[in-house]
Chains A and B, each alone.
Chain A
Amino acid sequence: MIEVVSAERCVTCDKCVLACPTNVFDLGPDRIPVIARQSDCQTCFLCEAYCPADALFVAPHAHPEPAGSPLRDERHLAAAGLLGSYRREIGWGHGRTLGASLAIGPDVLPGFGRPAAPATASPATAPPSPERHDR
């Protein structure tokens, strides 16, 4: 769930308020967004993708982080390189290469899962099966 709005980094562009599909944010008095309805957050990470200032952090748990969690601690997150990391990976932001243009994933293995019997085909030799690609 969304855990951090960095007042220090925020450039008050309102993008997250508009782009969050579940309307989690309201504008605060200083125009810095506040997490007004955290329980509505669907943990989709898209606000981070849209934030030009790397000011937001979404923890991957679908429930709120407990008090004292490092995933609520802006300084820890910045030091760990996690602020803005999704935006960086999809290549959004000035001077970056769009991640979509590099998105060549591996072949998904036939049978799409481990067979009940001991595996016969090793991943390295298994023939690709493009029809079964799903995400």
Chain B
Amino acid sequence: MSALRIQQGSTSHSAYDLRDYHAEVIEKHTLAVLVDNEAGVLARVIGLFSGRGYNIESLTVAEVNHDSHLSRITVVTTGTRDVIEQIKAQVGRIVPVHEVHDLTVEGPSIERELALFKVEGTGNNRIEALRLAEIFRANVVDSTLESFVFEMTGTSEKIDAFAELMRPLGLVETARTGVAALARGSHV
């Protein structure tokens, strides 16, 4: 029998579905999910993503309404339009999930991430790092004679760009919070 020739990646969504997903465009979406703040709820959401083979680019979670015990999970995910629709429907049917909002399609939204960068170096590199930090409006939150820790808030792209510039200047460690996002305007 001839070897199985199965296109790589063609079964990423479901083993039974040999549609070619490369033919479709991969989109990036930011979802805001309001959930009951109960034990294990994050595990349910993450388990759903891993169990069904969906991507997580970033994920943040915290309680946002103490009185009603609601937490907000912000997930940045990628997939074809069909997969994104599936993700929303699947997340929506988790019992403690109250609402799922696709901020990417529901209108303009703001996304912010916080990052900490440790940059080691002396001499010109150190001066250059400090200069760039100023341009990017990063704050120095810790400093020794050989190092800085910069704190920066911004879009993920801005943080990526800053990290790229710091790399040759002695970037040794990075911590990022992942994306928090809200729809613009007065409505909720």
Same complex for A and B? Answer no
